[in-house]
């Protein structure tokens, strides 16, 4: 394979400039314009967060190479005045040889050894093997009608973005090449958090992990002393040496096979990768943890559940009983404090890919959510607890509504006491519009709740009114599911007092003047 398609020069990174223009740029151009670029413009959630992680690894290593051990004051200066573009360009030029997408020894984020390995040199797979959105093997998806024996072609630009997202989010499971199975990627089944600035430069500053005393102990994939060998692929899983390793771990071994024009891909070689072992004491800097039935579990995306309902997982909890937020949120908070912006709001993007419960190899959804957090929530424990209590109240209210509505729907059916009837009624309610209606109404009031908490206002009254405003149309949606028969009317009449009892604590108190009138 000849050297071709250097990512420093070739336009492959989609970006959005401050004037609204969308363009693709190479790494050198990206860092030259890092202060004028608002954000990356990749539309695939796994590819988007993977690109940010690569840029963070480059930025971290470039700053360490130029300045040695740098600290919070340096980061505050770069956030205010701009990143040192000369240092970033010097770093990239120093490692230019490692940024060729096609290279006989060091293809970028790939394993050249697959070209000669007995297990892979005569075997190839379609490029869809590394596309989380495409059909592959026996896992077809809607709107994708490609087949493995006749794959379409994609550009090298598309291929590298698919590859980076795949390496971060690939689920664990069977591989059957070099090893029978392999560990999952660093962000598998994770809703990753990324603090956002008003420019790409500031986003990188906010999310940048601290510089260690010995920065050369944590190297990205392209700085490793030797290319990955078959022995590395067969070895036992290893712990990450740090964020740079995590952000660029070759969780699967891939070798892209260019077409004759050197600009397109249809086939690749594929095998088990450099497996990542997890360390409970050194979690991924972008992973949030919430309390599950058996302890803290990674925050992921659930069907029909917006991320704001798990907002407490993004907030600090010194007790460790409720949540463990992503490290990047702590980095951002400390930087804002150093900048004197402790009373500002922090936009956070939460994105990733979710697997089916109990079937980690089956991907079922990906999503991008955006929330804005007042920074007081990142430092004031009492305010965080008030928010947690408000969110618990809204969830408990919906559970009460669900129980009443399920009983009401069951009463409208034949044999209402039978357990199968109750199960059908519960499924009927869950597939109706009540949940979406209730939580959509509440979500519209969430910014007001956060602002009230930030100003230490009367959030309790505000949130009670919001819940009352949200539950009424949700109850009406459940009643509409009954139909119009006599049994339905009787079931509604029987259960309406229970509903009124549920919402009674939310009603404003009746004043003496109103009672007198």
Q: What is the DSSP string of 340-408?
A: T-TTSEEEEEEEEEEEETTEEEEEEEEEEEEEEEEGGGGT-HHHHHHHHHHHHHHHHHHHHHHHHHHHH
Strands 22-25 and 13-17: antiparallel
CA distances from 17 to 21, 158, 206, 223 (A): 5, 20, 19, 30
d(CA 166, CA 273): 12
Beta partners for residue 354, in sequence order: 365
pLDDT tens, per residue, the chain with 517 residues: 689 999 999 999 999 999 999 999 999 999 999 999 999 999 999 999 999 999 999 999 999 999 888 888 999 999 999 999 999 999 999 999 999 999 999 999 999 999 999 989 989 999 989 998 875 555 555 456 666 666 788 999 999 999 999 999 998 887 888 888 888 899 999 999 999 999 999 999 999 999 877 778 899 999 999 999 999 999 999 999 999 999 999 999 999 999 988 899 999 999 999 999 988 888 999 999 988 878 888 999 988 888 999 998 998 887 777 889 999 999 999 999 888 887 789 999 999 988 877 676 778 888 999 999 998 888 788 888 899 999 999 999 999 999 999 999 999 998 888 889 999 999 999 999 999 999 999 999 999 999 998 887 789 999 999 999 999 999 999 999 998 889 999 999 999 999 999 999 999 876 444 434 4
Predicted pLDDT of residue 146: 64
Per-residue pLDDT at 364: 80
Three-state DSSP at 125 gives strand
Distance CA 47, CA 40 (A): 10
Number of H helices, E strands in the chain: 15, 19
Q: Which residues contact 343 (CB under 8 A, 6 or more apart)?
A: 374, 375, 376, 454
- Give the integer Cα–Cα distance in Å for 405 and 382: 35
pTM, two decimal places: 0.91
| Residues 287 and 422 sit within 8 Å (Cβ to Cβ) | no
pLDDT of residue 142: 47
Element (H, E) at 154: strand 154-155
Contacts of residue 30, defined as CB under 8 A and 6 or more positions apart, other chains included, come to 13, 15, 37, 55, 200
Residues sharing a CB contact under 8 Å with residue 92, sequence separation 6 or more, in sequence order = 8, 27, 28, 31, 58, 62, 99
For CA atoms 282, 63, 200, 373, the dihedral sign is: positive
Radius of gyration of the chain (CA): 26
3-state helix, strand, coil in the chain (%, to 5): 45, 20, 35
Q: Are 404 and 499 in contact (CB under 8 A)?
A: yes
Please give the torsion angle defined by the CA atoms of residues 159, 161, 163 and 167, in that order, rounded to the nearest 10 degrees: -170
């Amino acid at each position: 394979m000849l050297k071709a398609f250097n990512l420093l020069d070739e336009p492959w990174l989609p970006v959005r400039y401050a004037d609204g223009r969308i363009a693709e740029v190479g790494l050198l151009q990206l860092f030259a314009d890092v202060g004028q670029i608002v954000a990356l413009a990749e539309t695939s959630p796994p590819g988007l967060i993977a690109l940010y992680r690569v840029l963070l690894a480059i930025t971290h290593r470039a700053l360490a190479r130029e300045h040695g051990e740098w600290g919070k004051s340096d980061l505050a200066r770069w956030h205010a005045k701009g990143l040192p573009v000369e240092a970033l360009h010097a770093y990239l030029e120093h490692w230019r040889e490692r940024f060729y997408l096609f290279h006989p020894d060091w293809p970028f984020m790939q394993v050249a050894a697959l070209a000669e390995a007995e297990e892979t040199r005569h075997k190839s797979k379609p490029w869809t093997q590394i596309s989380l959105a495409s059909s592959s093997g026996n896992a077809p998806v809607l709107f994708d009608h490609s087949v493995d024996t006749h794959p379409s072609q994609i550009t090298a630009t598309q291929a590298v973005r698919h590859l980076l997202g795949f390496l971060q989010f690939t689920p664990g499971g069977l591989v059957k090449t070099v090893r029978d199975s392999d560990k999952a990627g660093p962000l598998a089944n994770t809703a990753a958090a990324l603090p956002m600035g008003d420019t790409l430069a500031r986003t990188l500053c906010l999310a940048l992990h601290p510089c260690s005393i010995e920065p050369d102990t944590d190297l990205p994939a392209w700085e490793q002393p030797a290319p990955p060998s078959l022995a590395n692929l067969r070895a036992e899983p290893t712990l990450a040496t740090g964020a740079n390793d995590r952000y660029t771990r070759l969780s699967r071994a891939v070798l892209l096979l260019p077409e004759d024009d050197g600009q397109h891909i249809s086939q690749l070689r594929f095998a088990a990768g450099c497996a990542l072992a997890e360390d409970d004491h050194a979690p991924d800097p972008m992973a949030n943890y919430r309390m599950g039935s058996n302890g803290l579990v990674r925050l992921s995306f659930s069907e029909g559940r917006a991320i704001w309902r798990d907002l407490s997982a993004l907030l600090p909890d010194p007790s460790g009983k409720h949540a463990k937020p992503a490290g990047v949120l702590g980095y951002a908070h400390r930087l804002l404090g150093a900048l004197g912006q402790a009373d500002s709001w922090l936009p956070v993007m939460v994105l990733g890919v979710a697997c089916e419960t109990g079937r980690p190899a089956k991907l079922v959804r990906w999503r991008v959510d955006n929330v804005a957090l007042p920074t007081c929530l990142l430092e004031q424990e009492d305010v965080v607890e008030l928010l947690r209590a408000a969110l618990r109240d809204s969830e408990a209210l919906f559970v009460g509504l669900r129980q009443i509505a399920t009983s009401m729907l069951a009463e409208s059916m034949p044999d209402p006491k039978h357990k199968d009837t109750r199960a059908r009624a519960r499924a009927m309610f869950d597939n109706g519009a009540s949940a979406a209606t209730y939580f959509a109404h509440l979500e519209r009031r969430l910014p007001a709740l956060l602002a009230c908490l930030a100003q230490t206002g009367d959030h309790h009254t505000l949130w009670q009114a919001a819940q009352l405003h949200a539950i009424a149309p949700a109850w009406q949606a459940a009643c509409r599911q009954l139909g119009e028969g006599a049994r339905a009317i009787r079931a509604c009449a029987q259960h309406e007092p229970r509903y009124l009892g549920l919402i009674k604590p939310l009603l404003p108190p009746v004043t003496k003047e109103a009672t007198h009138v």
